[in-house]
Structure 1
Amino acid sequence: MPQVTIQTSGNLRRLDPDWLMLQVNRTLLNSGLFVEADLKIRVLRCDEFRIGADQFDPAFHGFVAVTVAVLSGRDFTVRERLGQMVQRTVERCVQECAQSMQVQVTTEVVEIQPEMYFKTVLGGSSPA
């Protein structure tokens, strides 16, 4: 744990998803709350999206929406601090894209009930 999902608008072409994932992973490790083997992160690019209604211009509007799912049990201030740390990291990563367009960046920390989380690791061996 945690499970991190980052959705990005497809028009953020200069945003490198591998670099973004690495920066978020480093932030999570630096929080002291997780070990590296437990970090799971993915970036989903959304080519079909809309922000607002009539004034939407895909050349000028973009987004990055981060969801950090953690097992329940951590108190509010820990989750809040984690969300703020991830938000600042993503803001720094997106800064270059925001020079040519308006980019909305959001981070949501959600809790997973341990009783409703199921995990199996299949095959292979751990690297030495």
Structure 2
Amino acid sequence: MPHLSLEYSDQLSGFDAAAALLTLNRVLLASGEFEELDIKSRAIAFSSYLIGTQTQGHAFVHLKLALLSGRSAAIKHQLSEQLLQALQQTCVWPPAIQVQLCVEIIEIERASYSKVTISN
């Protein structure tokens, strides 16, 4: 834990999802809240989406951070703000497209989460 899921509209041709994930993972590590090997991230581009009733001139990047329950609202807010700031700096955003960036913190009930690490 945590799990970071980055969803974005595929028309953002200058958006480097792999570089963004690395930047975001570094932000999480620097927060002091997580161990490096516990941070798992992934990205997926969407070709079918709408913003309002259209796609022309609009794009999005939506970041979901799933955390085990127990962190204060202040810590979750701080993580959200730090991730949003890092996300803003990950790309030269196209001038002809309005891009909506957002960060969502999702709490996973600690009592129902299971994990095992397998290594040979």
**Structure 2 length as normaliser, TM-score?**
0.93
3-state SS of the aligned residue for 1:81?
helix
Alignment-derived partner of residue 98 in structure 2: 102
* 1:117, distance to aligned residue in structure 2 (A): 1.2
3-state SS of the aligned residue for 1:4?
strand
Matched, 1:46 2:46: yes
RMSD: 1.2
Where does 1:1-128 land on structure 2 (aligned, <5 Å)? 1-53=1-53, 56-58=54-56, 60-94=57-91, 96-122=92-118, 124-125=119-120
C-alpha distance in 1 between matches for 2:43 and 2:61: 10
Moved over 4 A (4+): none
Amino acid at match of 1:40: K
Amino acid at match of 1:81: Q
C-alpha distance in 2 between matches for 1:36 and 1:99: 35
* 1:97, distance to aligned residue in structure 2 (A): 2.1
Amino acid at match of 1:38: D
Structure having the higher Rg: 1
3-state SS of the aligned residue for 1:93?
coil
* 1:108, distance to aligned residue in structure 2 (A): 0.6
C-alpha distance in 1 between matches for 2:43 and 2:112: 24
Identical-residue share of aligned pairs (%): 30
The alignment covers a number of residue pairs equal to 120
Unpaired runs of 5+ residues, structure 2, are none
